[in-house]
Amino acid sequence: MARVLSFTSFFQKYRKIYILGLFFCLSALAALSITYFREQSFSPVQSQINLSLVTNEPIQPIPVKIELDSRRVELGKKLFHEPKLSSNNSMSCASCHDFTKGGTERLATSKGMNGHNLSVNSPTVFNSGFNSRQFWDGRAATLEEQIDTPILTVGEMGGSSWSDIVKKLKQDSQYVTAFRQIYADGVTQNNIKNAIATFERSLYTPNAPFDKYLRGEENAITKEAKEGYNLFKSYGCVTCHQGMLVGGNMFQKFGIFGNYFADRGNVIKADLGRYNVTNNELDRHVFKVPSLRNIALTSPYLHDGNAKTLDQAIKLMGKYQLGVEIPQQDVDLIMKFLITLTGEYEGKPL
């Protein structure tokens, strides 16, 4: 009787062919405009965007400038730091997204009101406007939709209702004036969300050394970083981490070549990933692939914060996503490349 290979053993046997095939497909998609971006201007709020190819590489640079309503950005910035959005006026969006910490908390799992453990690592808010979906499980399609969860969840910002928040802001004459100058209907739930989301879209970080390299500045990164980038591609990391965000545009199962969760132990609901959204068994342990932009600043890593360092994260990805043990020398070179993904915010290096 002919031996029948299991899917896992088949995948193990033909892993290199599989990765090369995916890489080829992604490169083809890039050529067909999946990763086309305009060099000088990008408007995330437009339904149609005129884009031009900057490079033939699977990674594209972040645009140097994006077009946003400056008045909404300023109002959104104030609201992003406004503790009145929480039930007891003690927390703001910035409580979990600290700009001095890469737009994160640098905690394994985020802390909500009164120290409530939120079970997942807080993703960076930088460049979040370019994500295909929001949250690790992708449950929000837009930044506007994403805003509902932290504000309305008791464990995060106390579970205020939007009517309560609107009432609070209407008691502040400065907010009333600011909203009336921008929005015809003044302070409303949708306008609050729009202003915050517009500000979040302004949190883009262009001019990373690697972006300068992609635009033709050969000396923008070191020889070691270039070697690290080539390894990043040859190992297959770029299969999932590509495009402008070096990730952030697809879902993937965590644990293709091993059971990460069984090895780690203490599996909780958050570990089910997108399954919690779809109830589809195929989505069990599936997560949005995170962006690697500014990755050197956003430790710890993974949805559970289990990887404390970049070194650990790379090795875990090699083991569970690629089925290889990456030698330390290669890990070090890949880290050299990842460090070059740190960009600038408002003209200053992060």
Cα(49)–Cα(43) distance, rounded to whole angstroms?
7
Q: Residue 182: which H helix or E strand, with range? A: helix 173-182
Residues 117 and 157 in one domain: yes
pLDDT value, residue 118:
93
Residues 137 and 180 in one domain: yes
Cα(200)–Cα(94) distance, rounded to whole angstroms?
11
Residues 268 and 330 in one domain: yes
**Any domain includes 114:** yes
Give the count of domains, the chain: 2
Angle between helix axes 223-234 and 328-339 (nearest 10 degrees) is 110
**Any domain includes 322:** yes
Q: What is the pTM of this model?
A: 0.86
pLDDT value, residue 163:
97
Residues 320 and 343 in one domain: yes
Residues 99 and 118 in one domain: yes
Q: What is the CATH number of the domain that holds 20?
A: 1.10.760.10
**Any domain includes 82:** yes
Residues 195 and 152 in one domain: yes
Final residue of a domain: which of 201, 235, 261? 201
Residues 45 and 116 in one domain: no
- State the Cα torsion 305-249-141-32 to the nearest 10°: 180
Residues 87 and 178 in one domain: yes
Residues 287 and 318 in one domain: yes
Final residue of a domain: which of 178, 201, 224? 201
pLDDT values of the chain reduced to their tens digit, one per residue, 350 residues: 443 344 444 445 555 555 555 554 544 444 333 333 323 333 344 333 334 456 789 999 999 999 999 999 999 999 999 999 999 999 999 999 999 999 999 999 999 998 999 999 999 999 999 999 999 999 999 999 999 999 999 999 999 999 999 999 999 999 999 999 999 999 999 999 999 999 999 999 999 999 999 999 999 999 999 999 999 999 999 999 999 999 999 999 999 999 999 999 999 999 999 999 999 999 999 999 999 999 999 999 999 999 999 999 999 999 999 999 999 999 999 999 999 999 999 999 99
Residues 252 and 320 in one domain: yes
Residue 287 φ/ψ, nearest 5 degrees:
-135, 160
pLDDT value, residue 54:
65
Contact 247/317 with Cβ under 8 angstroms? Answer: no
Amino acid at 21: G
Amino acid at 3: R
As annotated, the active-site residues are: 156
pLDDT value, residue 63:
96
Domain span holding position 112 = 70-201
**Any domain includes 1:** no
pLDDT value, residue 350:
96
Residues 272 and 183 in one domain: no
**Any domain includes 76:** yes
DSSP character string of 300-349: SBSTT--B-SHHHHHHHHIIIIIS----HHHHHHHHHHHHTT--EETTEE
**Any domain includes 86:** yes
Final residue of a domain: which of 156, 182, 201? 201
257 Cβ neighbours under 8 A, 6+ residues apart: 11, 12, 15, 319, 320, 321, 322, 323
Residues 187 and 301 in one domain: no
Cα(239)–Cα(231) distance, rounded to whole angstroms?
12
**Any domain includes 298:** yes
**Any domain includes 2:** no
